[in-house]
Amino acid sequence: MKTVLRTVIRLLFKPMLSPRVPISIQRQGSKAAGLLSKYPRGTETTRLEMNGVPALRLHAPGAQAGKALLLLHGGAYVLGGPASHGALAAQLGQAAGAEAYLADYRLAPENPYPAALDDALAAYRWLLEQNEAGQVAIAGDSAGGNLTLAVAIAIRDAGLPPPAALVLISPWADLTQSGETIRSRAQRDPMLNPAWIGACAKLYAGNIPTSDPRISPLFDNLKGLPPMMIHVGTEEILLSDSERLAQRAEAAGVEVSLHRFEGMWHDFQLHAGQLAEADASIAELGQFMRKHWRV
């Protein structure tokens, strides 16, 4: 299955993620790719709004009342949503013993920065009305990892109660593409290519330089952020983002752990229930959140 999935992603998905392909087609492809993901058996889903932000609530067996996971999905800020990431939210929620909430935040280019951040912060404020902050975690993959960092910084700067933990899956923390693996992994990465993420970065940033910490939170002040766990594959162009983020977080005094998964590609956790590596990652991230729930 691992070889089959890698081949399918390289031959079908990677060519679609190109500046030459209309975003409307990319979005349809992202939804179709979601069909390859598996929900935990017995997951119940509910549509709702979180302070005006459309969202999907996912209750997998074992979720405990009062514990909530906010998932901010990936997709380079231009695609993704419940169809592509609902299963990942449910898998993470079950592993953490929490109800999962997937915020369907506004996308670029129609809605560049700060629309996604505003929506993520609104969703977090809604969760604070329903739960104690110490019983809320925030997770994000790829661009969602960028957004998870950005909203954690916004929560800190606004003086809001912080979440219990941050979970970062292959975070796209640096939109300037200054990481070494952007180049050294360009051929090895079966999913992402530098040209596509570079184009998406500009669509999201609008008139703001991608080096601005608001766009690339790797360069922001990380002091005082909640404990974070970072998972990344060794074959992806964003490996350097994870490694540098872990270094900067540790230097800022943040509790941080980094797990590199040998031979794995970007966002392989989307295949939980099919890949042993994905299951191991989800389980470890779930245990991390369970460890940091605060009563």
pTM score of the predicted model: 0.98
Specify whether the CB–CB gap between 138 and 164 falls below 8 A. no
Q: Which domain holds residue 191?
A: 2-292
CA distance 280 to 95: 10
How many CB atoms are located within 10 Å of the residue 28 CB?
14
Task: Say if residue 217 is preceded by a cis peptide, omega within 30 of 0.
Answer: no
pLDDT at residue 48, rounded to an integer: 98
pLDDT at residue 200, rounded to an integer: 98
CA atoms within 13 A on the CB side of 269: 34
Averaged pLDDT in 10-residue chunks for the chain of 295 residues: 92 95 97 92 97 98 94 98 98 98 98 98 97 97 98 98 98 98 97 97 98 98 98 98 98 98 97 97 98 90
Q: Considering its fold, how many domains does the chain have in total?
A: 1
* Active-site pick, 30, 84, 142, 242: 142
Domain containing residue 161: CATH number:
3.40.50.1820
Question: Would you call 257 a catalytic residue per the annotation?
Answer: no
* Active-site pick, 216, 236, 271, 277: 236
Question: Would you call 259 a catalytic residue per the annotation?
Answer: no
Question: Would you call 236 a catalytic residue per the annotation?
Answer: yes
Q: Any alpha helices (H) in the chain, and if so which ranges?
A: 2-8, 14-16, 23-33, 82-96, 115-130, 143-158, 181-184, 194-205, 239-251, 276-292
Token pair, residue 278, equals 């994905």
Token pair 């669509």: residue: 203
